[in-house]
Each structure stands twice: as C-alpha cells, then as structure tokens.
Structure 1
Amino acid sequence: MAETALKVQNQVDSLSIIDSMDLNAIQGTLSKINQFQMVVQNTLKADHDYGIIPGTNKPTLLKPGAEKILMLMGLTSEYEVTERVQDYEKGFFAFTVRCELYKNGIKITEGVGHCNTKEKKYINQDPYTLANTCLKMAKKRAQIDATLTVASLSDVFTQDIEDMQEYIQTEQIETMTPEDAAKIKLTFGKYKGKTLKEIYKAQHDYLEWLLNQERTDPVIKKAIQTMFDAVEQQKIRKAQQHLQQQAHQQEQKEVQEEVAPIFEEIPEVNDSELPFY
C-alpha cells in the first residue's frame, strides 16, 4: 500500500514539474542549444579539436576543442584532485580530478576524470616516470567531461578516450592480414591516396624507407612489415615447390647435394604472384 502511494506521489510530483514549465521558453532554449551545436561543429577543426575514430558513430572531443568551447561560452575552469594514490614501492600512481566550470564567479557544472598507471597504454612503460602524465590525463578527462555536459554536446561528441583510439589501433595491428595491409591508403606524401599494394609495385624501396622512419604511424609500419613478410613467405613456398619438383627427378642424395644450394637462392615473386590481392 505504501509503495503504491509512493508511486502515485512520484507521478504527481513529475506532473507538477511539467505543469510549472514554460514550454515556449523550453522550446527556445532547445533551439538555442541546436544553434550552438552547429556553431561548435562549424568552428572546430578535424584532427585537432576533435578526432574521428573508425567504427564509431560520433567524433571524439579533444583537449583543444574543449578549450575553444569553454572560450566561446565565456567559462573558466578550476581543478581539484579528489583522489591521489602514489605508491613508490609498487610503482602505482592514480589520480581522480574534478573540474568545475564557472561563469562570472558562479559555478555552472563539473566533470570528473581518472587516470592510473595500470591502464593498458602504460603497461610497458616505467611507472615512476608516469605520475605527472597520469595527473595531466585525469585533469584533461575531467575538463572534457565537464565541457560535454555544460555545452549539451554529448549527442555530438564522445569523451576524449585516447584509450579507445589505441585499442582500435592495437586490434587493427593484431588482426591484420596481408590483404588488409595491401588495401591501406597513405594520407600523406607523394603517394597520398595510393594503396600500399600500388606503392609496392611502383616503388618498393619507398615502403622500406617508411618502415624505418620513427614518425611513421604504427598501423602503417605493421602493414608494410606484414606485406614484406608475406612476400618472403611466398618466395619460400616457391623454393619449396621447386625442391619438390626436383625430388621427383633425382635421388635423395642428389637432392641434398645439388638442389639444396638452389633453395638458398630464393626466387623472386612476380607482381602476379603477390600474396595479397
């Protein structure tokens, strides 16, 4: 009985709130929100203020973009570390940061961000050099969380999750096949817009050069290496087939003494025999 009465009371309270609303004002506010979202989308720059992650339906808001939005709205931010773990014996550091947004000294909203050295992106790094990095990352995540809330942009952008970018990148690298690698297109340089297969046929040594550059994207490096490895495997298969053909014509001793040197000279793979399509 008491539970039923509570439900009725909640319904009455909800209806009371709706009844007290100025729907015309609400409609005007929603219209302004839509207009502001359009201004933001037209102002921010791709790959600088926001990034587009393949496979996601919304772009990811980045720190420069969040800062521009706060400037457009005339907001200032203040930060507080609400949780701090600094274990120098075990090498574990963690920070939770709250970002508060203010307008003319009045608090508007807040956001929360967390980072710790056990996150996947930091696993193979020295944790003792990452304490400050984690603190800055937590601060940035809190700022972006608050920005998405105050600007009503959650339906336009996602949180700045660089971990998602790295996850997708790692997954792409680990599951890449020679066919996948060959289809990747460069977005820079003289072969911009060309697939790695097209570049392989046109200028094989250009891919070798890219492979040795520190700034080359890890996915591109992996793709090139995957293609090179596939070609080498194709050469070995051709050599093995050649040995099998010889084995049918000669005695086993002759195969070991005379045909073995042929295997050392691995044959080249023609374009029509490339192991990727």
Structure 2
Amino acid sequence: MSNEMMVQEVNPMMIIEGLKIDRVQDSMNKIQQFQKVVQGALSADHDYGSAFPGSNKPSLLKPGAEKILMLLGLASEYEIIEKIQDYEDGFFAYTVRCVLTKAGQVITEGLGHCNSKEKKYDSDKQDKYMLGNTCLKMAKKRAQVDAALTVGSLSNIFTQDLEDMVQFNQSERVNTMTMKEAENIKLTFGKHKGKTLEEVYKEAPDYIQWLLGNDRTDPAIKKACEILVSGPKKEDSKEKVNTETGEIEDLPPEFMNNPFDGEDSPF
C-alpha cells in the first residue's frame, strides 16, 4: 500500500447538495442580525473610522475589534510566527497570529504584519532603535482586527484598511493640499450638504468661517477652508502664458486694469 496521501477532488455541488437549506437560511439571518447589533453598538471615529479614499466601507479600528470579541465572548491569544530584530541597522519586522478561542476551543485566527520600513516610521524624528516594540504592537493589532472581521462575518460592512495608515494618509493629504483640491471638496453634512467648498464660499462665506472656528471640523475640511480664505481671489487676478515655457503666470498688479486692453491696444 502506498504511503502517499491520496487527495480526492470534491465537487462543490456535493457540499451544497448535502446542506440543510433551512439551517443555512437560519444562519444567514443570524449573521445579518448580528451585523445590525454590531453597527448599533460601535461608535464612529472611535470604533471605526474613515478608510482609504474611494472605499464605500469604514475601517474597523482596534477598540471596535475588541468590542466585537466581547460581544461574542471570545478570548485572544497571540503567537509571533516570524520576526526580524536587526539592532545594528535598526530594522524590525513581525508577523503575528491572533487565535480566537471560546472555552478553550479554537474558533478562528487572523494574521498581522508590521515592519519598521513602513512609510509612517520613515522620519528623522523617529528613534529607529525604539521601533521594535511599536512594530510588535502594531502587528498584534492588525492580527486582531483581521480575526474579528472573520469571526463576525463583517467584511461586507467594514474594511481592514490599516487605521494607522489612514491617519498618516489623512495627515499627508492635509499637508500637501492644493487650492484646486480645497475647492473641490464636497460637504457631506449640514445645510450645504452636496456642495463643494468653492460653491459654499461664493454663496455663504460666513459658513466657511464657521467651519474654521469649529473644533469638531474635520482637519482636511478645516485646511481647505484656510486655503480658500487666505488664497488669492479669482476676480482680483489675471493670467498670462509664458511663450517660452507654456506655463500660466500671474500678471503683476500694475497690469490688472490695462487701459489698452481690447481693440485700442497699441501692441
């Protein structure tokens, strides 16, 4: 008899045909009910937050993952399955497995990885030799979020967009925002909902000032309002094209009201 393991291919229909549909439907109903409970129990900007641009789902954060596991009565156990600790060059990397258990029985697991070469740690202000513990904690957090999404069948309402990278990208977006980007930001709240900041600034400049003075205003929106208020007014400037470079340049103030503009210009 051969010692090699014989692997038999199973037709997926064989599995489906063996199911008891009434139990499957009951399980699906319970999943939907649990998802509603989770959505009602979690708080925006604390348990979940903004994900990457273009995503239609919020990002599940660590406090939210912990609440989900408490709702299900699950405990978390962690195992480092891969690590690099290069103290000479200051490089650290960890891959962590988060195992969820209930009454000693393994339910599911999640994986998370973090290393010190991620862009968020690339700063002259960072003490690279202190990043080992930071990366280990981040890997554990990512593994826990991954496990929570799996056990709760929550991937259709939350994304595992990395919360720390979201915060970094948000900060980067604020720091590099241009006038055009500021003008095109659309409000998703209040009486001007659906309008761009440029439209609101033209119609109700006082509202822009109110957003600037409100401590609860999103940092990106506040930055955009600052740019709009402090930027040059379109009606007070004209543009010319540099014939050598093809770039648009602003005319100096003395040419703003050229008396020779039009048909009477001698040039």
Task: Calculate the TM-score normalised by the size of structure 2.
Answer: 0.69
> Does 1:91 find its partner at 2:84?
no
Q: How does 1:114-263 map to 2 (within 5 A)?
A: 114-124=113-123, 125-126=125-126, 127-162=128-163, 163-167=165-169, 170-171=172-173, 174=176, 176-182=177-183, 197=201, 202=206, 217=219, 220-221=222-223, 224-225=226-227, 228=230, 230=232, 237-241=251-255
Which residue of structure 1 lines up, in the alignment, with residue 21 of structure 2? 23
Higher helix share: 1
CA shift in 2, pair 1:45/1:74, >3 Å: same
Q: 1:45-75 CA distances to partner (integer Å, 9 max, x unpaired)?
A: 1111111335211111111111111010000
Does structure 1 conserve the Cα–Cα contact (< 8 Å) formed by 2:174 and 2:219? no
- The counterpart of 2:32, out of the listed 27, 31, 34, is 34
Letter in 2 for 1:241: F
Q: Shift of the alpha carbon at 1:123? A: 1.1
CA shift in 2, pair 1:244/1:141, >3 Å: same
Which residue of structure 2 lines up, in the alignment, with residue 101 of structure 1? 100
Which residue of structure 1 lines up, in the alignment, with residue 44 of structure 2? 46
CA distance in 1, matches of 2:59, 2:41: 15
CA shift in 2, pair 1:91/1:197, >3 Å: farther
Does structure 1 conserve the Cα–Cα contact (< 8 Å) formed by 2:237 and 2:256? no
Unmatched tracts of structure 1, length 5 or more = 1-5, 246-277
CA distance in 1, matches of 2:93, 2:228: 37
Number of equivalenced pairs: 232
Letter in 2 for 1:170: E
Q: Shift of the alpha carbon at 1:222? A: 6.5
Q: Shift of the alpha carbon at 1:179? A: 4.1
Q: Shift of the alpha carbon at 1:122? A: 1.4
Q: Shift of the alpha carbon at 1:186? A: 9.1
CA distance in 1, matches of 2:209, 2:39: 41
Which residue of structure 2 lines up, in the alignment, with residue 80 of structure 1? 79
CA distance in 2, matches of 1:11, 1:183: 53
Percent identical: 48
CA shift in 2, pair 1:227/1:179, >3 Å: farther
SS of the residue corresponding to residue 130 of structure 1 reads helix
SS of the residue corresponding to residue 77 of structure 1 reads strand
The structure whose Rg is larger is 1
Q: Shift of the alpha carbon at 1:205? A: 9.4
Q: Shift of the alpha carbon at 1:149? A: 0.5
SS of the residue corresponding to residue 55 of structure 1 reads coil
CA shift in 2, pair 1:59/1:201, >3 Å: closer
Q: Greater shift after overlay, 65-74 or 125-134?
A: 125-134
CA shift in 2, pair 1:179/1:15, >3 Å: closer
Does structure 2 conserve the Cα–Cα contact (< 8 Å) formed by 1:144 and 1:160? no
CA shift in 2, pair 1:207/1:104, >3 Å: closer
Letter in 2 for 1:78: E
> Does 1:113 find its partner at 2:112?
yes
CA distance in 2, matches of 1:237, 1:181: 23
Task: Calculate the TM-score normalised by the size of structure 1.
Answer: 0.67
